[in-house]
Structures are given as structure tokens and as C-alpha cells.
Structure 1
Amino acid sequence: MNKQRAIEISESAVMENVTYQGTPVFIQHVNDDDTARIYPLHKSEQEMIVPLGSLMENKFN
């Protein structure tokens, strides 16, 4: 995922379909070093920092 799109998703009020290794996640914050702070949906205590390239946006249009 590119950095600008990750920032747009993290700032949006609309929940997007983003996955990390096949697991739906919420993007909390995009860092300057091309990583993002995320957590799996329904498991907010499992926060992690991952490379932006490992995030996938699943569009259902």
C-alpha cells in the first residue's frame, strides 16, 4: 500500500477493508519510516508496527 493511501485510510471515518497477512486490520497511524501502527479488528490489544508494503486494501466495487 502506498503511504498517501494509508494516511487517507487512517484519517477516514469510514472503515476500509485493509488486511495484514490475510487478517482484517485497523490502521491507527502511519509513520515517517513507511511503517504503520495497526491492530487486528476485534483485538485492539494486539497492536503492532508493520511495513506499509505488507498492507493490502481489498476493494469490493
Structure 2
Amino acid sequence: MNAQRAQEIASSPEQINVTYNGVQVYIQRVDENNETARIFPLDSPQQEQEVPLSSLEET
């Protein structure tokens, strides 16, 4: 996923389906400089992690 699309999803008031390793996640914020995103699984908000944007997939 590119940084611009990830930022659009993070800013969207609607829920947009995004997966990381097959798990649906919520994008908290995007770091365009490092091409990473702060995410967490929808069913486990306490499991935040920083992942490469290239590993995110819009479904």
C-alpha cells in the first residue's frame, strides 16, 4: 500500500478493510518518511505495532 492511500484510510470516518498478514487491522497513523504505519488488530487494540506500508493490503 502506498503512503497516500494509507493516510486516506487512516483519516477516513468510514471503516475500510485493511489486512496485515491476513488479519484485519486499524491504521492509527502513517509515517511517510519511514514508509511505515502504526496499526492494531481490530479485535486486539492493545497489540499496537509499527509495520511497513508494503505489508498492508486493502481488501
Aligned sequence identity (%): 53
Separation (CA, whole Å) in 2 of partners of 1:27 and 1:19: 10
Q: Which amino acid aligns with 1:14?
A: E
Q: Which amino acid aligns with 1:5?
A: R
Q: What count of residue pairs does the alignment treat as equivalent?
A: 58
Separation (CA, whole Å) in 2 of partners of 1:23 and 1:16: 13
| CA deviation string 1:13-60 (max 9, x = no partner) | 1010100000000000001310000000020000000000000001xx
User: Where in structure 1 are there 5+ consecutive unaligned residues?
Assistant: none
User: Where in structure 2 are there 5+ consecutive unaligned residues?
Assistant: none
> Where does residue 53 of structure 1 map in the other structure?
54
> Where does residue 43 of structure 1 map in the other structure?
44
> Where does residue 4 of structure 1 map in the other structure?
4
| SS of residue in 1 equivalent to 2:25 | strand
Q: Aligned Cα RMSD in Å?
A: 0.5
| SS of residue in 2 equivalent to 1:4 | helix
TM-score, scaled to structure 2: 0.96
